[in-house]
Each structure stands twice: as structure tokens, then as C-alpha cells.
Chains A and B, each alone.
Chain A
Amino acid sequence: MREFNYYRAGSVRDAAKRLSASGNAMLLAGGMTLLPALKMRLNEPGELIDLADIGELKGIKLNRKGAQVGATTTHAEVAENVELRAAIPVLPHAAESIGDPQVRNRGTLGGSLANNDPAADYPAVALGLGATIITNKRKISADDFFTGMFETALGRGEMVTQVLFPIPQRAGYAIFPNPATRYALVGVCVAQFKTGVRVAVTGAGASVYRLEDFEDALTDEFSEVALDGLTASAASLNDDMHAGADYRAHLVGVMARRAVAMALE
């Protein structure tokens, strides 16, 4: 780790101002990705702006239309939230599957989305549920938010403050873990709304993406059988020592079916 300046922000406004002013500052939420990257010297920011003190970024609010989750709400808080478990069980289920207890007690929703790790769980759930990401500047739909590997639509000086999750009729998230990291080798989130079904895939590609032919089939009939004969394309999927593109494509099909089964349980 190299030397850096540490700043503990008092408010969103304060943090954003500091972030805009500095050429190479980074936001510190849970730090579950950032701190290891600093130790490995993969990231060398001049300043870390710690969001831990900002009360307005924390908490979970639920109404008839959906759930609003603050950016620095931890995975453990999402996983344990009784109202979420009743209204959108797929969200706490996904939170529960992230990392280990230490990670879940430190890692945050906003941090995970802003980082957009290609194998992270939350991006799949946010995209699958069609969440809206609220920043200090605007609202961004999940469909527009995840732009590439570790890349998002967030601009300079922009930070995630809240995330709005609509309530699906039913939803499921099935993950096949990478044996080494337990991140998703492939994770598929399936969510059924009155308007149709959304299917989002993490782990398989450079960034989370939707599977339109699966969505169409499931919109017609929400069942595993509806996916008969459908396969995911291996084109441009990740290929590494744990899984080739063909294996990942195969797992997308298996996990999509399991997510449907989970939603129907």
C-alpha cells in the first residue's frame, strides 16, 4: 500500500465536493474490493474519502411500490431485513450469498454497484429487478448504469446515494460459485413483473447483461419448461482457468432454470 490522504466526509455534499476537487480521490464505502486493491498496489489513489459517517446513505425504506436502500447499507443489513425478506426475498437472498460474514458486515450495496465487478451478485439483482440507481446528480436505470467491466455510467464527482428496487411478482437468483473465490462463476437473476420477465446474468460476461430470448420465453410462460431448447450464446463470454466460455454458457442455462424454479417455490 502506498501513502494516501484519508478524509472522512460529513455529508454527501461534502464527499462529492471533495471528490470533484481532487484529481485522484476515491470513495471508500465498505472497502472490500478497494482495500485489497490498494494492498496489491493495483490502485494508487491520492486520497480516500470515507463515507462511513454519512447517515443519509444508510438504511432501508419500503413502500408499496418498492424498496429504497441507502448506498452504504451493508450486505448483512440487507440480508437480515425482515421487510425486504417479505417483499423482495430475492434481494436479501442475494445479499446473503455474497462473500463471508466479514465481507457482508463491511461490504455495501452502493460500493458493489459502483465497482461493477463482472462476477458480483448485486449488479445481477439490480439489473434483473430493473432497479433505479440514484446518485447525487440524477437517477439512472440499471439498464443504463452497468456499461462495462468495472465500468458504470457514473460521471466525475458522481456517487451512488440510494437504490430503488421495484417489487416483482416473483423472482429468483441462482449462483454457481467460482470454487476459489466463491464469486459467481455464473449467476442468473430472473424476475417476473406484470409488464414481463427480466433475466440478468453475472459472472459470465465482461459485465452484467440481459438475456432477451430467455425473457421472451418466460414472459410467455413462467416455467422451467418454457426454457426448453433455449441455450445461451458463448460468444464473448469470459474464458479463464475456472471456466471456458462454453461451460459458462451452459451454466447460464442451468442457473436460469434454477432461478425460475426458485422463483416458483
Chain B
Amino acid sequence: MSGEMGIGVSAPRTEDRRFITGRGRYVDDINLRSQQYAWFVRSPHPHAEVRGVDAADALKMPGVTAVLTGADMQADGVGPLPVAWGITSRDGSPAHEPEFPGLATDRVRYVGNPVAVVVAESRSQARDAAEMVNVDYGELESVASATAALEEGAPQIHEGAPGNLCFDWEWLPAAMAPDARANTDKAFKEAAHVVSLELVNNRLVPNAMEPRASLADFNTATGQLTLYTTSQNPHVNRLLLCTATLKMPEHKVRVVAPDVGGGFGSKIYHYAEELTVCWASRRLGVPVKWTAERSESFLGDAQARDHVTRVELALDAEARFTGLRVDTVANLGGWLSAFGPAIPTVFYAPLLAGVYRTPNIYVTVKGVFTNTTPTDAYRGAGRPEACYAVERAVDEAAVQLNMDPAELRRLNFIQPDEFPYQSPVGQLYDSGDFEGCLDLARKLNAYDEFSERRRQSEVRGKLRGRGMCFYIEACGAAPSQAAGQLGARAGLYEVATVRVHPTGSVQVLTGSHSHGQGHETTFAQIVAERLGIDFGNVEVVHGDTGEIPFGMGTFGSRSLAVGGTALYKAIDKVEEKGRKIAAHLLEAEADDIEFTEGEYRVAGTDRAVSFGDVALAAYVPHNYPLQELEPGLEETAFFDPENFTFPSGCYICEVEVDRQTGQVDLRDFVAADDFGNIINPMVVEGQVHGGLAQGIGQALLEHCLYTPEGQLLSGSYMDYCMPRADDLPNFVVATRCTPTPFNPLGVKGCGEAGAIGAPPAVINAVLDALRPLGVRQIDMPATPQAVWQAIEAARSGG
């Protein structure tokens, strides 16, 4: 029965029926009686003192209930927005964590920084009144780029962070690896070849399809707060509301993240707007709703990437990698977002070994405050930056040594018999077959026939180039104890409850959250497979702290590896209890009962009882071992993984460049990924496609750009270029499988792979195409103008 929709089947997504027929229920679809609307007054200045807020005119506007400020918030004892990860500088001092109030009290530090909120009976009334709020700003000098912010004499953004330096971090730290730095320097001294690159990893705006929204409903009679919000992790939002900001007891707060239209990281955090509507609802005694306009998403959603990196790779005479040195300046924005300091450090440096046996690696990262929107995790979160640095350097080495980039990689791969492999930057890689993936990708690309394709492109007047990337990433965050040692201020396990109803149908309550990933389908497949029941008899419930015991939510490709395993372990418990019930019903020993395809059977006999009958017996315990066993069939498991999981893969892409205009056209893209075991191949393929689209977007199209002072230039789709279907080729995707030994499902995670692996593959291809013209370097995004400028510069530079 389960075989139809069990593990490994491309089951059509259960949730799609409601999504594609307009029956989804998103936060903005929820309306409550007496609901009022919030509109935020935001700073138009990148950096300014807030000397005062005069709301007198706004309060006279029709429909206005209140105008609230940071001072009001402070007076009510609301705490600052929390930083969820503490980073320690190499001198042992903690990163500077400025107090980030939901509404500015004395200073604003980026354009869009919330200053006040207007609550009114309608959205447009709130907006009209917001225009009448007079904020007395004292403009201050400002700076948007992290490298400029580090310069002598740069405007100073936080008093506690001289030179705008939030932290100056190294990896591995001297305390853990006293010789890492010296050994790496020595490798460079002794190297036969050294390649060195200066790279910019461009800033991005996440752009989930559904803008953020929050609707808070404080019940003045019960003291209960219900928050409907666009969250990837409602329990985390509740935790932070209760412990850090509103400081209410958890049993009085329910957070619901209903259907959510995409997150990509940007909906992980406890944002100012969400906090403000909760507080406003509590203070005013009415439900308060805020729904972002797209323009607000551009200003207010945590942005991403924005690194400037120097990467150096040392090779011996046989082209084996002997050392890697990476020095990165990371732009954190005007305040620290929740995971802001963790992304360019502990989610970045530990991946810099890539898939290679480089023995000596030393990394330094400076986290810098600037007058820009805070940065944080976005699809890949640190790993795309790491992969880009490594894979650009490897390609550059291949060029300088005149080697085939595939062969240089092959020469340096970690070998299959070396797993689990301890990397010099602190990761224990679980499994992988890099040569296998490389060979698969080469085959799909028809690697050896490239010169013919290049010739055909030349006939059409186009320059053809091919680029490769071999990524590895860490999914399934994370072992809580390891994360805690690295500064995490929360545990990172996951929780699942399997509730078997008397008739044998099953409800799964999962702490993972689906905002597009398809858990309602894939988690049900796991249950159908394990319990041998019909896929249609399983319902997956997520996104409501009122229903689900606990959870850490969905980010970092962790849902299946951690949440799926919690589910797996809860099913183990259900199966075990069922075995005891079945043993009683069959008058046999539990040890003699086997459970296959939905039946408990006395081994070697035809005496069997179905899972449904066992469930019924658990709820109608007439014939039941009540002395030994409680009635009912519902089990919960918390799963805290032993390690991350490490998906890897080889991407090859081919581009054609129009040398007259600089236009880059993607002609072919091949992805050969190793995600371990796969529950639903179609869902995985969709994840790869989406990730590739975002990675290609970063490489060719997307650019979040500020003026030097911090005014956002790319503040709408008129300037921020999102990938469209016709920007993308037909992807050729395939998988190989080396199951991870670190979870019983053998699954690794696939959500971020495309966004991690695509950018270096695309840029390596663009450079390959332009190399005959003398172009050696280009930064992302390789827009037509950037490509044309690179061609012109190479031409005039001789």
C-alpha cells in the first residue's frame, strides 16, 4: 500500500492543490474583528540622530488610533531584538552586540530603520498619517561599504565598535589549533605555485514571493497573545518574544506561521515589525496587522552575502593543494541581525576546505558595521561565499598551470575510503563520491565534445565558455553541543509527534516548517513507508506553537535530516509500542513479532494483526495489557544530530557571450548532486532548480547596490534584477547517492545546493569565454555592462 507513495517515489505534492487553486491561507488572508493596521515610519537617512518624534499632526488624521515610538516601547520594558549567536574575536573579546531596539530610540543606522508606528483603522489611513509624523533627524556622516567603513577616518556607527569593527575572527582559533596559522604560512613559503584572487561576493535581497506580514491579537481578558506571522520557525519566534523582547510566559503566547510563500532565510528572524505589532496589540487591546509592501521588503528584510575576500591557494610541484589562506571583510549592516555574526564566520570558514585534501588552511574574517540593512542568512548562508572563494581559486590555478580544471580537482579530491574525513577547518565530512559525481557531470555535459560546441558558437559570432564547480556544504544544523561551543544561543534539535488516531490514520506534528519545501508530502511519504499505511491517511501539521510541542524550524537544509529524523524516531516509538500491543493480541512474545507492510506478524506464522487493528486496540483497550502499557498511540521524539550532513556535487555550465554587448547567455547547465538518500525525487529536482535559479541570479543578474553613503539604489524590481524563466536554460539534473551515516534515513539535504554551487560555475564559464580576449577577472553579477567593461579594460590594457 505504501509502495505507491512511499520513500523514493515522486509523489505529487499534496499542498499544491490549495496553492495553485488560490485556497492557501497566508497571514494577509487572515482578518480579525476590530483589526487595525500598522504602518511604519522609517528612516530616510542612512545615519542620523533621532532628536524627537512629533506625532501631533498625525494623531489628528482620520482613523488614527495611536502613534507609538521607541521611547514608548522602552517605557513598556520591551527588550532589544536579540542576537542568537555570539562570536568571539581572535583576541578573546566578544563581538560588539549593540542593543537593537524595535523602534529607534536615539539613532537610526540604515535607510528603512523603523522609527515609529502608526496604528489606524485602515491601511491607507495609517499610511497617510505616517506621512504626517515629523521626525527631527540630525543627519550624521555615513558609509555603506565594509572596506570603506574600516578605513581611517570613516564615520563611526557604534560607539562600542571602534573602527566599525564588530569582530576580528580567525579559524581555526589559536586555542583550538595553535599552529594553523604558522603551518599555513609555511605551506605558502614552500609552495611551487601560489594563486591569489580578490573577490567580491555581491550583496543580495532575498525576495520571497510573499512579503513579510504579521498579525498580532492580544486578548485583554485572557492575557493571551496570538501572533500570525510569516515565519520559518514559529517556536523560535515565540522563544525570542517570550525571553528577549516582550518577556511574556510561553503559555500565554501562540505563534502561528500558516502558509508562507517562501523564506530563503529571510523569515527566520524575530524582526522589529513583528515585535512592534505584538507590543502595539498588547498596549492598545486590538488586533494589529502589518503587511509589507515590496518596497519595504527591499529595505527591511535581512540582506545577504556582501563579502570582500582575498583568497590564496598554494600548490606543490605536482599541483597538489598544500595551503589555503582566506581573509574576508563581511558587511553586517547597521545592526546585528539574529544570525548576522554567525553567517560569515561559523557557517563560512568551516567549509573552506571544499572537497579537497588541502592540509593547511587559515581564515580571518572581519565583521564590519555599515549604514546598510542588516545582513543574515539567505539560501546557502556562508557556504555560497566559501564555495565561491575556493572554486574560483581552483579554476584560477588550473588556468595558471594550464591544466584541465576537472583534472586538477580530481587530483586533489578527498578519496571515498577517507570518510569520515576530518577537514583541517573543523568539519567531519560524512560521505561522498566526488569522482563519481564529476564523472556523472562530465558525461551529462558531453565534456569531451566541448571544442566542437565552442566552434559552432564562434560560427554564430559568440564566445563560448565552460565553467565547473565542485561544492560541498554542511546541512542539518546542528549538533546542539557543537553549536553551543561555537556561540549558538539555542539548541538545534528538532521535534516530531506522531499521533495515531483510533482508526489508524496518522497526524504528524512537526517542528519543521514548510514554506514551499513540500513537507506535507515528503514527511507523509516517510510515515506511509514506515507504517505501511496509505499516504492519504497521513496529515502533516506544522507552523503552530499551539499544536506542535516544540521545534526549531526550517533553515540550513535541516528539515529532512533533522526534522525528518525526529519523525523517524517517533515512528520507531509508535512501532515499538504497537509491537507490544500486537504481541498481546496475538498471544506471543514481542520479540517474535515482526512488522512489515503495515502488519504485525508472529515470525514464521500466518498469525498477524494489522496496524489499524493495533491502533484501535490502543484506544478501545478491551483486550489490552493495561497493567504494562498505557492506552493510546501517540509518540514524540526530539532528535539532536551527531553531526552535520554534507551534500556535495559537481556543476558544469556553458555560456555564450556576445562580445559586442557583453550579454551572457546560459546555454547548458548540468548538476550532479549527492544528497544521500532521496524521499521524493521530483521535490528534490524542484529544490535544485530553485537553488540554481537563485545562484544564477547572483552570478549574472542580482545586485543590491547602495550609494557610498547608504541610500539603496536597487530598491525595486525596476533596478533589482530577478531571474526570469527565459534567463535560464533547461537544467540537466541527476543524483548520485552516498548515504550519510549520521541519521537513520541516510539523507543529507538539498535546499541550498543550487545557490551554493551555481555562482562559481557560472563565473568560471564567463571567464573561460572571455579568456581569449585577455580578461582574467570579473566580479558578480556579470551583467552585460560589467562584461563589456572587462573586455574594454583587457583591450586597452594590451
Contact = CB atoms under 8 A, between A and B. Distances in A.
B124 A179 contact: no
B329 to A, nearest CB: 22
Contacts of A185: 784
Interface residues of B, number: 23
Interface stretch (A14-22, A192-200, A209-217, A242-250): A242-250
A243 B789 CA distance: 10
Given A1-B124, A2-B128, A254-B660, A180 B717 contact: yes
A180 B789 contact: no
B343 to A, nearest CB: 25
A48 interface: no
B719 A247 contact: no
A250 B788 contact: yes
B703 interface: yes
Interface string A1-21: 110000000000000000000
A180 B662 CA distance: 15
Interface of A: 1-2, 40, 176, 179-181, 185, 240-244, 247, 250-251, 254
Contact of A176 (B701, B721, B784): B784
Of B128, B719, B720, chain A has the most CB atoms within 10 Å of the CB of B719
B720 A179 contact: no
Contacts of B788: 247, 250
B31 to A, nearest CB: 20
A40 B701 CA distance: 24
A181 B789 contact: no
A179 B714 contact: no
Given A179-B701, A180-B717, A250-B788, A242 B661 contact: no
Given A242-B783, A247-B785, A181 B661 contact: no
Interface of B: 124, 128, 295, 660-663, 701, 703, 705, 713-714, 717-722, 783-785, 788-789
A254 B785 CA distance: 14
A236 to B, nearest CB: 19
B718 to A, nearest CB: 5
B661 A251 contact: yes
Contacts of B713: 241
B661 A180 contact: no
Given A247-B785, A250-B788, A241 B705 contact: yes
Given A241-B719, A254-B661, 13 more contacts: A2-B128, A40-B295, A176-B784, A179-B721, A179-B784, A180-B718, A180-B722, A240-B719, A242-B783, A243-B785, A247-B785, A251-B661, A254-B660
Nearest to B721: A180
B124 A242 contact: no
Nearest to A181: B718
Contacts of B719: 180, 240-242
Of A180, A242, A254, chain B has the most CB atoms within 10 Å of the CB of A180
Nearest to B700: A179
B720 A242 contact: no
Per CB-CB distance, the 10 closest pairs between chain A and chain B, nearest first, are A180-B721, A179-B721, A254-B660, A247-B785, A243-B785, A241-B713, A181-B718, A241-B705, A180-B719, A176-B661
A150 to B, nearest CB: 15
A40 B294 CA distance: 11
Contacts of A240: 719
B784 A241 contact: no
Given A176-B784, A180-B721, A241 B714 contact: yes
Contact of A241 (B661, B662, B703): B703
A249 to B, nearest CB: 11
22 contacts: A2-B124, A40-B295, A176-B661, A176-B784, A179-B701, A179-B784, A180-B701, A180-B717, A180-B718, A180-B722, A185-B784, A240-B719, A241-B703, A241-B713, A242-B719, A242-B785, A243-B785, A247-B662, A247-B785, A247-B789, A250-B788, A254-B660
A112 B198 CA distance: 45
A251 B663 CA distance: 11
Of A1, A240, A243, chain B has the most CB atoms within 10 Å of the CB of A243
A23 B661 CA distance: 46
B166 to A, nearest CB: 28
Contacts of B784: 176, 179, 185
